[in-house]
Amino acid sequence: MSNLAILPIILPLFAGIIVAITNKHTGITRLLTKFFSVVGLAFSIYLAWIVLNGETIVLETGSWMAPYGIVFVADSLAVLIVVTTNIVATACAFYAPHSLPESKEKHYFYAFFFFLISGVSGAFLTGDLFNLFVFFEVLLMASYALIVLGGGREQLRESLKYVLINLLSSVVFVTAVAFLYSVLGTVNMAQIAERIQDVEQQGILTTIGVLLFFVFATKAALFPLYYWMPRSYTVPNPVVSALFGALLTKVGVYSILRVFSLMFVYKIDYTHTLFIWIAALTLIFGIIGALSTNNVKLIIAYNVIPAVGFMMLGIGVLNQEAVSGSVFYLVHDMIIKAALFMIVGVIVYVAGTTDLRKMGGLIHHYPVLGWLLFISALVLAGVPPFSGFIGKLLILQGAVANDVIVVVLIGLLTSLLILYSVMKIFIHGFWGEKDATHVKKSTKGMIGPIAFLIAISIALGIGAEFIYPSVESIATYLLDPEIYIESVLKE
Amino acid sequence: MEIIISILAGVLFAVGIYNMLQKQLLRIAIGTGLVSHAAHLFILTMGELKRGAPPIIKEGITEYTDPLPQALILTSIVISFGVTSVVLVLAYRTITENDTDNMEQLRGNKYE
């Protein structure tokens, strides 16, 4: 029974090995990829159903008791995010064959795709800080291979920066874990939380906490550590951008949410106030970046940054409404960012350029694509009744309750500007005179996965009544570290 | 002993970061290697340096080594070995494709 917790990690790992073997036969590989991603989605929904209805599943590998062995903890937050990861992965698996040239598929795209999913799921499910580092490395290694796939001049240049910044933050991560080990003598998250509570988080522990925050902030692309992100997310193939935009920055956000709701919660005046102001600056600088460019890919890549800012605001405020808002927004943002990157991939493919000033009149040829972009812009900006609205509403409600009105105003203004920045793509790209010389290109197979993601996103917004109770119980669970500690250490 | 090794790790960190801040790509690659070395040395030091005691706890045994830092450092060394080779290959390819190893010229606004 408890072995179920490791399934979302093992299944993609095996799938990755199998598709690496069948790599030469592209047809079979595509079929296997679709098959395994759907099976993975089905299993993760089953796991989530068990966990959300019952209690946390804790897997102690090799039957070593919790503080001594390695543990995997499938709690309600982790399984919710794992399901979302698998939804995005499934959409990408169906989108990839139509978007990638066959030469790139033959360079083991599908194998690395599954290794990435395995690493991301592992990072969500692990209950051990050092293993979090290991899974970070697993997903980073896969992402190094994916980002450089194709090997163009610009791609190599940006990949190099991506690899170097991640390498540095990994080294800092190891150093922070070493510090924490020397102070507390453990790397098990539950035991770390327990011991920090015992010593009331003295100064040295807060320092280590901020060091860890630096690591996760680099991954999550927070101000002022976001500078590597927009360009390196625009150079790879659209499907790779979709995976990165949806999953990688969110792993950073998830880690911050986990570490700073479970372990370092006794000096909130310092750490969490810092988060609120970093969130405000992230919102401002992210949206300025999105407004400053006419490159459609860059607009979407910059839009990842303010979304992370909203989630950080929720984590910084740390009350019931704000945390449930952050969790809801995390799920919403993973889905809609994947959809947007995919839409932009199709736009660039049909228009043959990334420059907005050279586009126009696409709606005459591709009406469905145009309306999908329109809907996803509304979802992203948080127009009611779509899913972005509910997440933002909860986060901002929580922020108002904590009297950080300035940041709330910044958040509201940013929402408007997000809507404008995406609408700009719609107005300049889709409106305008019909271009008679335009040769209509086939978008067969690309629209389906996008529509699937947007349908889920709309369902999240309209069906919020049904989802909210479980999100609320996750927030209650996160705000009380005792529940996590007890379910892992069983005292 | 711990103090000396800690200082050594600090010096390695400083040298590594100095190298990472250079413009030449190969120096940056070497810098990343040095910084990871420093981190590994640091993990080992954090678990107390001891000699002549096996990592076994039994009744009546008071002298023992902590095995966990060694497990951690081993994992970390393997990972950083892999990453360093990726960095070297990537740096080589970048240099040949872009015809320069100067980070100033690899900033990304030349070809746009």
Q: Is B27 helix (H, G, I), strand (E, B) or coil?
A: helix
Substitution target from A130, A157, A231, A297 for chain B, most B beta carbons within 10 A = A157
Identify whether the C-beta of residue A80 lies closer than 8 Å to the C-beta of residue A118.
no
Mean pLDDT across the stretch B47-60? 77
Domain hosting residue A130, numbered range: 2-489
Contact between residue A57 and residue A5 where contact means Cβ atoms under 8 Å apart: yes
Residues of A in contact with B82 (CB under 8 A): 141
Domain count, chain A: 1
- Quote the pLDDT of residue B109: 59
Nearest to B93 among A133, A156, A170 (CB): A156
- List CB contacts of B112: < 8 A, sequence separation 6 or more: none
Between vectors from CA A396 to CA A332 and to CA A390, what angle results, nearest 5°? 35
d(CA A418, CA A411): 10
Closest CA to A478 of A314, A243, A279, A278: A314
State the amino acid at position B87 in one-letter form.
V
Per-residue confidence band for B111, with pLDDT thresholds at 50, 70 and 90: very low
Best CA proximity match to B43, nearest among B18, B16, B80: B80
Shortest CA distance to A237 belongs to which of A245, A228, A249, A227?
A: A245
Query: Cα distance from A199 to chain B (closest Cα, Å)?
Result: 19
Give the pLDDT score at B112.
Answer: 47
Enumerate the β-bridge partners of residue A57.
A74
What local confidence, expressed as pLDDT, does residue A268 receive? 83
What local confidence, expressed as pLDDT, does residue B32 receive? 92
Contact (Cβ atoms closer than 8 angstroms) between residue A29 and residue A23: yes
Indicate the average pLDDT of chain B.
Answer: 86
pLDDT at position A364: 83
**Alpha carbon A330 to chain centroid, angstroms:** 7
Q: What percent of chain A has pLDDT over 70?
A: 100
pLDDT of residue B55: 77
Count of C-beta atoms within a 10 Å radius of residue B24: 12
**Residue A147: closest CA among A171, A163, A133:** A163
**Residue type present at position B35:** V
Q: Is A59 left (phi over 0), alpha (psi -120 to 50) or beta?
A: beta
Q: How would you class A472 by CB atoms within 10 Å of its CB: exposed for 0-12, middle for 13-18, buried for 19 or more?
A: middle
Q: How far A171 CA lies from chain B's nearest CA (Å)? A: 6
Q: How many beta-carbon contacts under 8 Å exist across A and B?
A: 88
Chain-centre distance for alpha carbon A396: 21
Highest mean pLDDT (candidates A38-42, A316-320, A401-405, A422-426): A38-42
Backbone angles phi, psi at B24, to 5 degrees: -80, 130
Strand-pairing partners, residue A73, are A58
Over residues A108-137, the mean pLDDT reads: 94
- CA A195 and chain centroid, separation: 30
Query: Which domains, and CATH codes, for chain B?
Result: 2-53+62-106 (1.10.287.3510)
